[in-house]
Amino acid sequence: MRSGTGIGTVRRRLHHSDVGGIRNENYETSGLDGLDEPLLGKRDYDDKHSEGKVMEEIWDDERKKEQLHWTLLFSNLIAQWAQWIANLVFGSGSFIVRHLPLLSNTKNRSNPKFIVPTLSPLQEERLRNLQQRLGVPFDGSRVDHQDALKLLWRLAYPNRELPPLKSELWKDMGWQGPDPSTDFRGGGFISLENLIFFAKKYPESFQRLLHKQDGNRADWEYPFAVAGINISFMLTQMLDLQSGKPSSLAGIRFLKLLGEDEMAFDDLYCVAFQMMDAQWLVKRASYMEFNDVLKSTSTQLERELSLEDVSSVKDLPAYNLLRR
């Protein structure tokens, strides 16, 4: 078990161009290198586990870690099996796929594009609304944005006094400095909405991730709030939501989920955050490995989205990791 002591002297920062930049043949990486500000910055954390922890709690942690490992392994095997089937189908030139979009550019195998199916009026409307949300930057001078930040604090720490909008206390939540508004950058206001949604709909999972209560934690943990901004940004890129209509396989599959649930993006965010932490624990990762964990998370999420029987976020194998 690793303990968090004596780490305050480390001062390296990750570059934003690394965030979510998966070099995977099924992952859309356009636009990732265009951002010149790091989203994930330095953050020191104290060890959350006391040396006097009783044996019963230690065994409980081990059981949870083992269960988490097998859950991830099982979902990964299912997703890989589905990907193998998909590759087999796409590899046949004489077979027309009825359930998945066809490749529109077979020459560019490293960045495949798919024919976007005709969207229903409901899907068109929900996609438009989501893209409008994605276009709103965080503005610290707007009262409604300030109020949203205050709401996040109250949800995260219901028994603590609300600090000023600029206070060292915000670092407790995993912001890089005393002013959270400087950390949003490419994440936009939607990343704050995602965190609030997570805290409201899945409060137990939110609190456990916030306070790093699951598994054996690293000496240098990822900062919770800034990690959340990274996940919002990663999902936007993975689902190809910045284009008019998503043309990546993951983006097209997401449109199906959006047709079933207007809040599919927010729910998928919660799954991705929980999945990221699970990957973090299984890999026994530390701060400087955050980007690698985020890439693995994106790859795993793409695989689960490719499963043919997934018609809602709740059908994803990793959804079972969430707790209310």
Q: For 74-130, what is each residue's pLDDT tens digit?
A: 555 555 544 444 443 333 333 222 333 333 333 343 445 667 778 999 999 999 999
Averaged over 7-31, what is the pLDDT? 36
The answer to whether 206 touches 258, Cβ cutoff 8 Å, is: no
Q: Is 216 inside any structural domain?
A: yes
**Residue type at 154 in one-letter notation:** R
For 285-318, how does the pLDDT look when each residue is reduced to its tens digit (9 = 90+)?
Answer: 999 999 999 999 999 999 999 998 999 999 999 9
pLDDT at 242 (0 to 100): 86
Instruction: Report the domain count for the chain.
Output: 1
Give which of 67, 66, 20 is closest to 40, Cα–Cα: 20
pLDDT > 90 fraction of the chain, expressed in percent and rounded: 59
Q: Is 205 inside any structural domain?
A: yes
What's the N-to-C CA distance of the chain in angstroms?
A: 27
Averaged over 184-211, what is the pLDDT? 96
Give which of 171, 315, 297 is closest to 235, Cα–Cα: 297
Q: Is 154 inside any structural domain?
A: no
Averaged over 246-267, what is the pLDDT? 95
Taking the C-alpha atoms of residue 282 and residue 66, their distance in angstroms, rounded to an integer, is 9
Q: Is 224 inside any structural domain?
A: yes
Q: Is 242 inside any structural domain?
A: yes
In whole numbers, what is the pLDDT of the chain averaged over residues? Answer: 76
Backbone angles phi, psi at 158, to 5 degrees: -65, -20
Q: Is 52 inside any structural domain?
A: no
**Where is pLDDT greater, at 55 or 238?**
238
Q: Is 281 inside any structural domain?
A: yes
Q: Is 111 inside any structural domain?
A: no
Domain of residue 257 covers 121-136+185-322
pLDDT at 39 (0 to 100): 46
Angular region, 223: left φ>0, alpha ψ -120 to 50, beta rest: beta
**Burial of residue 239 (number of CB atoms within 10 Å: 0-12, 13-18, 19+):** buried
